[in-house]
Amino acid sequence: MSGAAVQFLHGLAQALSTLALYPEGHTSRERALDLVFTRLNDLLTENEHPTYSFLGGDEVVYNDLPLREMQNWDWSRRLAEIGVQRLQFDRTVQREELEEFLDMVLARLALKAADSSEARQMRPSGIRYGLVGVDGSDTELEMDAASTATIRFTLEDEAEAIRWIHSEMLDGHSLPLLEAETVVRGLSVAMHGDRQIMVPLLRLREFDEYTTTHSMNVCVLAMALAEWLGMGAQDVRAFGVAGLLHDLGKVKIPKEVLLKPGKLTAEERLIMNSHPVEGAKLILAAQPELDTAAVVAYEHHIMINGGGYPKFTYPRNCHQSSRLVHVCDVYDALRTNRPYRDAWPAGKILAYIEERSGVEFDGEIAHAFTRMIRDWEPGVVEMNSETEPVVEAPAPAAAPSGG
């Protein structure tokens, strides 16, 4: 009875090897995808919710029973190592979803390879999230088991990659674009990990994690909004990269200023407000072709009425992508507890965005954003550590301050 379960895994391994070799659209790639998708459907005819667990030792568990045939199967360890400890499918799974999942696996394996490089070993290791993703036993993220996620995995590797990117920049190295794009791809897959689009917003646990979680959230929100506005996949990805990197310049801000719990002095404010210029410089120095991301880094604190910073010498309109990231940035900043301000509840933030529409925010973009969040409310999932429940924000205090 485990025949189809074994056959699917063989097809999976074959598809992974093939996809690693051939570009999108290549016939070999399409054939491997057809094969693994057929085997998945064979499996789904005998089991409505096939579930695999890859436990890291060379063991594969299929629906609670070890698959003897797959002992010492190489991929079990590799999948576990990149955060795919549990893999579950349901009947709604589409071929494209399977393809995206396989691409994500390959992207993560590439990250893992970079992981063993010397630079990667130097990354700070003081902060961990635990599993931020979903896993069958994580009840807090289990929404409706019967109708939700087809493919489940965690976001820990993406978070780790962002920390590493930031530490690379801190050390004066050049921006590792490939890894940034890999993170965006991983987040994009996470976003679509459900039939309904899911926004995997991370909830802040430790203050130092702010830059990491904020970058991921703005990346996801920017992609979601771009998609909501009907943009094509490539543009959506470009907005994701811009969102991910919008605050990159903060690596140039001294920790005492960046993490100061109280109000900033005028001088400190000046230093803090240099992060858009610094970020644009860092991005352009590393990747001149990332001009959109550089423009967004430069403009993301500029309001539609010209307020904010930095100031243009000659007034002009901000790029559409900057206006889009601006609203995502403010939304995520306000929903986070900061040392100087409690998190705002979602409703209050949306009201704020509406009120400032046409003044601070581009009217059309602000409108689309608030509609998107309201529309997706059930799909907006707060992801946090495995153990800590999400604490609802206490009553809001002082005026907002963007991120």
The CB-nearest residue to Fe ion is: 403
For residue 21, count CB atoms less than 10 angstroms from its CB and return exposed for 0-12, middle for 13-18, buried for 19 or more.
exposed
**How does 271-290 read in b/e, with b if 16+ C-beta sit within 10 Å?**
bbebbbebbbbbbbebbeeb
Which one, 329 or 360, has the nearer CB to Fe ion? 329
Q: Counting runs of H as helices and runs of E as strands, what totals does the chain give? A: 16, 6
Which one, 10 or 356, has the nearer CB to Fe ion? 356
Which one, 158 or 332, has the nearer CB to Fe ion? 332
CB of 46 to Fe ion, least distance (A): 49
- Residue found under tokens 């608030």: 370
Which one, 18 or 215, has the nearer CB to Fe ion? 215
CB of 330 to Fe ion, least distance (A): 8
CB of 163 to Fe ion, least distance (A): 16
- Residue found under tokens 């896993």: 135
Which one, 176 or 243, has the nearer CB to Fe ion? 243
Which one, 62 or 344, has the nearer CB to Fe ion? 344
| Concatenated DSSP letters of 10-63 | HHHHHHHHHHHHS-TT-HHHHHHHHHHHHHHHHHHHH-SS-EEEE-SSS-EEET
The residues that bridge with 79 in the sheet, in sequence order, are: none
Amino acid identity of residue 46, one-letter, is E
Coil, helix or strand at residue 201: strand
Residues that bind Fe ion (CB under 5 A): 247, 329, 403
CB of 318 to Fe ion, least distance (A): 14
Which one, 40 or 187, has the nearer CB to Fe ion? 187
| Concatenated DSSP letters of 324-381 | HHHHHHHHHHHTS-BTTBPPPPHHHHHHHHHHTBTTTB-HHHHHHHHHHHHHHGGGEE
CB of 308 to Fe ion, least distance (A): 10
CB of 275 to Fe ion, least distance (A): 6
CB of 1 to Fe ion, least distance (A): 52
| Concatenated DSSP letters of 136-160 | TT-GGG---TTTS-SS---SHHHHH
The 51-54 sheet, strands edge to edge: 65-66, 60-62, 51-54, 86-88
